[in-house]
Amino acid sequence: MAKPTVGILSIGDMGVGIARLLLANNYHVVTSVSSRSEATKERAQKANIALVEKDGDLVDQADYILSIVPPRDALATARRIAFAKIELEKRKQPLYYVDLNAIAPRSSRQIADIFQPFTEHVRFIDGGIIGGPPAPKPDSPGEWRKPSLVVSGPHSLHDDRSGHGASLASILNMRHIANEIGPASGLKMCFASTTKGPTAIAIQSFTTASRLGVLDELRAHLSNYSPMTGQLAEAGVKGMPSKAYRWVEEMRQIGETFEVDGGWGSETAIFPGAAALYEFVASVEGLGGEKGSEVEEVVHGLTTKLKKE
């Protein structure tokens, strides 16, 4: 039986990693390059991902679509697919649309509403990705290091009548955790808050210590009295600059999750401030490359910018 076609939107680091995993398992992977840059097209072609010019072509060809876009683009991406109404309504088998973006449960419920008029043609699945992009294990040929893909909602890939869904879920390390829309995206938000939130604290701590002339003392005391905290803080500060622009909306989505689904009021809000902090970090030019920087470089760049504000 021929393997189905999986559409991926869009082709960032995670999208490329998942595409390579699927291609290694003989799936056909396709993406729409409508309004995409030449760099994105080249990245997709280099990864052997097939290109289509229009979203309608993607809807026509794909059995499954995985949405893996920046959080700010999640709703717009769903609307793009829903806008391909003619192609959706021509389908003989339902299209499985799996939203794997770092968004709040309320945003996932809004996406479910977008597809509600197409219930006969689209099976919407709420999801989230926890961990880094898939990659082959260097010491174990044929085996892959995979992130955890958590999903929820009334539909599951295991329900796919084509018989391919369960196999695809296994290859992607996908686990269905609830029958409602929201728990999967909420789990992603809660997890991200515990990893990216502390980095925001470390940024302010390290830059303030630097301006007080005690950064070396702070790092030494962390090493002596709370080494794990110090290691995580330094790794976060070094690796964060190139990702900061992507984390801005994610922090807002975490804040929304805690307020709407967690019941925390605005007077206890932490993450709007974290969003503003990462927006500030992203505005500092030359702060860090893709491979990260040294702590001193990041702190120097931030403190220099702070003095100008």
Residue 287 has pLDDT above 90, yes or no: no
Q: What is the mean pLDDT of residues 295-300?
A: 93
User: What b/e sequence results for 72-102 when a residue is b if at least 16 CB atoms lie within 10 Å of its CB, and e otherwise?
Assistant: ebbbebbebbbebeebbeebeebbbbbbbbb
210 preceded by a cis bond (ω within 30 of 0): no
Q: How many CB atoms lie within 10 A of CB 281?
A: 25
Supply the DSSP string of 215-277, one letter for each residue. Answer: HHHHHHHHHHH-HHHHHHHHHHHHHSGGGHHHHHHHHHHHHHIIIIIT---GGG--HHHHHHH
Work out the percent of the chain whose per-residue pLDDT is above 90: 84
Residue with tokens 């174990």: 140
pTM of the model: 0.93
Nearest-angstrom CA–CA distance, 271 and 8: 29
CB 96 within 8 A of CB 125: yes
Instruction: Give the pairing type, strands 122-130 and 95-99.
Output: parallel
3-state secondary structure of 12: coil
Residue 282 has pLDDT above 70, yes or no: yes
Would you state the pLDDT for residue 291? 54
Q: Classify residue 160 as exposed, middle or buried by CB count within 10 Å of its CB (0-12, 13-18, 19+).
A: buried
Would you state the pLDDT for residue 140? 87
Q: What is the mean pLDDT of residues 292-305?
A: 89
φ, ψ for residue 283, nearest 5 deg: -80, -10
CATH of domain 186-308: 1.10.1040.10
Residue 242 has pLDDT above 60, yes or no: yes
pLDDT digits (tens, 9 = 90+) for 110-143: 999 999 999 999 999 999 999 999 999 998 888 9
Which tokens belong to 14? 């995670």
pLDDT digits (tens, 9 = 90+) for 164-215: 999 999 999 999 999 999 999 999 999 999 999 999 999 999 999 999 999 9
- Where in the chain do CATH 3.40.50.720 domains reside? 5-180
Q: What is the mean pLDDT of residues 38-44?
A: 84
When pLDDT is cut at 50, 70 and 90, the band that residue 286 belongs to is: confident
- Where in the chain do CATH 1.10.1040.10 domains reside? 186-308
For the domain made up of 5-180, the CATH class stated in words is alpha beta
**Beta strands per DSSP E along the chain:** 5-9, 28-32, 50-52, 64-67, 95-99, 122-130, 135-136, 144-145, 148-152, 174-178
Quote the mean pLDDT of the chain. Answer: 94
φ, ψ for residue 37, nearest 5 deg: -75, 165
